[in-house]
Structure 1
Amino acid sequence: MKKPTGFTLIELIVVIVILGILAATALPRFSDLSKDARIASLAAVKGALESTSAMVHGQALINPGATTITNEGVAITLVSGYPSPASGGGMALAAGLSTTDYIIRYGSATATPTQPALPINSFAAIPVSVANTAAALNCYTLYVGASVSGSTITPPSATVVSSSC
């Protein structure tokens, strides 16, 4: 008589249950990738703003007294030799921030239920995926322009705010 080979029905059910338990514990770890993607995108925006600011400042040092610098066909308004964050100043466009990916909110001291309060000398790049939602209050990259106090110039800065992405 030949000995039967293969799995019994009980063994098959046990294996399926074990695989189901493993899948249920692993799913939460991989399901939150959209938050990580938004945070990585905001970090890339920060890098683009910092490098654009450094390049424009370098051009301004070569051309002292210039009030605008043209970089890759984009006119960028200067304040104390650094790119201005003002609307129409060209900084967001020069950094490659497209309106299909980001909403650019220029400095406004008042917050709305879906937009953060910002310093007047700044702008925020808010991902379109969270724009006009409460998550936008704490999911953006903030660019603050250079400031002058007496003879001291504080260079611009970029900061990622990602607590509700």
Structure 2
Amino acid sequence: MRRLQKQAGFTLIELVVVIVILGILAVTAAPKFVDLTGDANAATLQGAKAAVETATTGVHAKSLIAGNHTALKATNPTVTVAGATIEIGSGWQNATLDNFNDLLDIEFGANEQFSSAVNGTSFFIYITGDTAPTEAAPGNCRVQYTESVDPNVKPTIDIDITGCS
């Protein structure tokens, strides 16, 4: 008389089916748990900071060539960059929306990823939907350009990527 042996484990097909199901779950569920928005915003702001630094260097070079790098902001000196008239003071661009809209190839606004604001002598780039930064309360996740009043001192260009989401 032949005895039936008791099965002691899973078949290869059962194991493959379980692995496939786990793979499908991982592919569909992982993106919900891994949010890279903050990292993307921080990286974009670092690129924006580099664009502001490059524009600042270019404007200062144009001002040196034009010989108006010592002219104070109150005298309304300008330089022309890529066909746009840029208002300067002490050889550096003034913190105005028009200046930065002309200098940067970045779209700002309610339907864009980032917005811009001017407060006092500072220009800000920040995440659309956040509270607009000010010199007194610059906030997090922003780039800040602050004018210089000395032709020998470069404007301050700061970035804070803490709190980017």
CA distance, structure 2, for counterparts of residue 94 and residue 8 of structure 1: 62
Larger CA Rg, structure 1 vs 2: 2
Q: Map 1:72-83 onto structure 2 (within 5 A).
A: 72-83=82-93
Q: Confirm or deny: 8 A CA contact 1:76 1:83 kept in the other structure.
A: yes
- Is residue 2:55 matched to residue 1:52? yes
Q: Confirm or deny: 8 A CA contact 1:50 1:157 kept in the other structure.
A: no
Residue among 15, 19, 23 paired with 1:15: 19
Runs of 5+ in structure 1 lacking a partner? 1-5, 108-119
Task: Compute the displacement of 1:28 (Å).
Answer: 7.2
State the one-letter code of the partner of 1:125: I
Task: Compute the displacement of 1:106 (Å).
Answer: 0.7
Check 1:97–1:87 CA distance in 2 against 1; reply closer, same or farther (3 A cut): same
Normalising by structure 1, we get a TM-score of 0.68
Normalising by structure 2, we get a TM-score of 0.68
CA distance, structure 2, for counterparts of residue 85 and residue 97 of structure 1: 16
Instruction: Calculate the aligned-residue CA RMSD, in Å.
Output: 3.1
Task: Compute the displacement of 1:8 (Å).
Answer: 4.6
Q: Confirm or deny: 8 A CA contact 2:97 2:116 kept in the other structure.
A: no
Q: Percent identity?
A: 23
The aligned counterpart of 1:160 is 159
CA distance, structure 1, for counterparts of residue 61 and residue 43 of structure 2: 27
Listed one character per residue, the Cα deviations across residues 101-150 of structure 1 (whole Å, up to 9, x for unaligned) are 3311112xxxxxxxxxxxx211111132x4349xx9311111111133xx
The aligned counterpart of 2:124 is 124
The aligned counterpart of 1:3 is none
State the number of aligned residues: 138
- Is residue 2:78 matched to residue 1:68? yes
